[in-house]
Amino acid sequence: GAGIQADIETLAAHGCIATSVITSLTAQNTQSFSYHLPQVAEDFLTQGKLVLKDIRIDACKIGAIGSQELIHAIHELIADVTFPVIFDPVLQSTTGHDFSNEQMCSLISELLLPVTTVITPNLDEALQLTGAPTPQAAAERFLEMGCKNILITSAETSDIEIINHLYQEDGQTQTFTYERLPGSFHGSGCTLASAISANLAKNIELTTAVEQAQEFTWASLKHGLTLGKGQIHPNRFFQQSEIK
């Protein structure tokens, strides 16, 4: 329910077509995570360059990366692009598997944040990447690193609601509050970042794109499907025909 599968489903639900370049393969299910196998950086770069050479790209979404070499490869691929780059910095799977380390976080800050249009960390990821003590301080450090817009999810939580904060390069801030849904979900962050990517690819204004993406993600969780014995699968086609 997460990763590339989540990205493709979300983009398809928004009427967009995905051109995927894989960073890591994983062995996991709704209950546990066994391992991840990072793509060979040279192969990733070859695949990405071929896509860019042939197809018009309207937005790029980055998820879990997996190795320092891949961070360098991603930077080489997107350093000079003009389309929006949306980065979901998956540092750890929802079942606790680490995708990153201190060296990778440092490289992300140096190479990827300056070319990122919107970053979508949860609170733990935001604090880990910046070393900041609060969401506001983390957002300020992201902006200092060159990231243009920051959506910190679960910046504040309670038993009944979740609060997300959007910090923009022009100084504007927005707060979004959603009812906390029961259960644990697999791929909610991927869904959100991909929905933002789809909206920006359609030239929707940034604040509206982010708000609509959050509403879509929340609805996909509300209509989630129990496919296995663990986490719930977001139903990204809730607006369409019934899925069985």
Average pLDDT of the segment spanning 17-37: 92
User: What's the CA gap between 233 and 103, in Å, rounded?
Assistant: 32
Mode of pairing for the β-strands spanning 173-179 and 24-28: unpaired
User: What's the CA gap between 59 and 18, in Å, rounded?
Assistant: 10
In the numeric block, which tokens belong to residue 44? 């990733």
Read off the pLDDT band of 98 (50, 70, 90): confident
pLDDT at residue 92 greater than cutoff 80: no
User: What's the CA gap between 28 and 35, in Å, rounded?
Assistant: 7
User: What's the CA gap between 22 and 158, in Å, rounded?
Assistant: 36
Mark out the alpha helices in the chain (DSSP H runs).
3-13, 41-54, 68-78, 102-107, 123-130, 135-144, 188-201, 206-222
pLDDT at residue 233 greater than cutoff 80: yes
Q: Which of 78-82, 94-98, 174-178, 237-241 has the lowest mean pLDDT?
A: 94-98
Coil vs helix vs strand at 73: helix
Higher pLDDT, 102 or 131: 131
The pLDDT, as a whole number, for residue 238 is 94
111-136 burial, b at 16+ Cβ within 10 Å, e below that, comes to bbbebbbbbbbbbebbbbbbebeebe
Average pLDDT of the segment spanning 13-42: 93
Read off the pLDDT band of 243 (50, 70, 90): low
pLDDT at residue 244 greater than cutoff 60: no
The pLDDT, as a whole number, for residue 91 is 84
Beta bridge partners of 53: none
8 Å CB contact between 196 and 63: no
pLDDT, tens digit (0-9, with 9 covering 90-100), for 156-205:
988 899 999 999 999 999 999 999 999 999 999 999 999 999 999 999 99
Q: How many CB atoms lie within 10 A of CB 91?
A: 19
Read off the pLDDT band of 93 (50, 70, 90): low
To which residue do tokens 């509206």 refer? 208
DSSP state of 122: B
Cβ neighbours of residue 114 closer than 8 Å, sequence gap 6 or more: 145, 146, 147
pLDDT at residue 97 greater than cutoff 80: no
In the numeric block, which tokens belong to residue 63? 């998820």
Instruction: Find out if CATH 3.40.1190.20 is the number for domain 3-222.
Output: yes
Distances (CA, A) of 214 to 57, 191, 224: 23, 9, 15
Residue/partner pairs of 145-148 with CB below 8 Å, 24 or more apart: 145/109, 145/113, 145/114, 146/113, 146/114, 146/115, 146/116, 147/113, 147/114, 147/116, 147/119, 148/116, 148/117, 148/118
The pLDDT, as a whole number, for residue 236 is 97
pLDDT at residue 119 greater than cutoff 80: yes
Q: Which of 57, 5, 10, 29 is nearest to 193 (CA)?
A: 10
- List the chain domain ranges: 3-222
